[in-house]
């Protein structure tokens, strides 16, 4: 199983845990990352993830997120083909960075693209993608 997570998923364990949904998503993200770390699933990284993390302004949170990102055992580098696909994806209103994440996930042949961004999940369901876009909590409920 190949998994691509966007940066909001990597951030979830460090968000305010007072809301039940955020707490549960954080626990599931950590569980998925643990499973990837142990070799059960393959976590895919990308230079788009690295770029987005590099823009984080909180140094302590940035360092923790970078540590989680380092679990990725495969990496995708943006190519002209990925850039072209990202522009296509943007046409339905998906933000540029999100479109690059999806294009990278598609290029890597991932089975699932995980995000905690409800708007991105909703917009992604309106177009034909080569990867399923899902919330980590919902996805784990399906696969376990």
93-131 residue pLDDT tens: 999 999 999 999 999 999 999 999 999 999 999 999 999
What is the CA angle 117-122-128, rounded to 5? 120
How many percent of the chain have pLDDT more than 90? 97
Q: Report the C-alpha gap between 2 and 4 in whole angstroms.
A: 7
Q: Provide the percentage of residues in the chain whose pLDDT is more than 70.
A: 100
Q: Delineate the domains of the chain, giving CATH numbers in brackets.
A: 2-143 (3.40.50.1010)
Maximum Cα–Cα distance for the chain, whole Å? 42
The answer to whether the predicted template modeling score (pTM) of the entire model surpasses 0.75 is yes
Q: Which residues contact 1 (CB under 8 A, 6 or more apart)?
A: 40, 41, 42, 111, 112, 143
């Amino acid at each position: 199983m190949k998994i691509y997570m966007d940066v909001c998923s990597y951030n979830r364990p460090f968000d305010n845990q007072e809301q039940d949904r955020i707490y549960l998503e954080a626990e599931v993200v950590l569980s998925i990352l643990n499973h990837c770390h142990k070799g059960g699933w393959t976590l895919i990284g990308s230079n788009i993830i690295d770029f987005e993390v590099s823009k984080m302004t909180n140094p302590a949170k940035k360092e923790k997120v970078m540590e989680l990102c380092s679990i990725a055992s495969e990496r995708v580098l943006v190519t002209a083909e990925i850039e072209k696909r990202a522009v296509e994806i943007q046409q339905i209103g998906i933000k540029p960075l999100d479109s690059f994440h999806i294009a990278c996930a598609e290029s890597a042949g991932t089975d699932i693209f995980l995000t905690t961004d409800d708007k991105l999940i909703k917009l992604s369901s309106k177009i034909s993608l080569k990867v399923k876009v899902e919330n980590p909590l919902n996805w784990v409920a399906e696969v376990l």
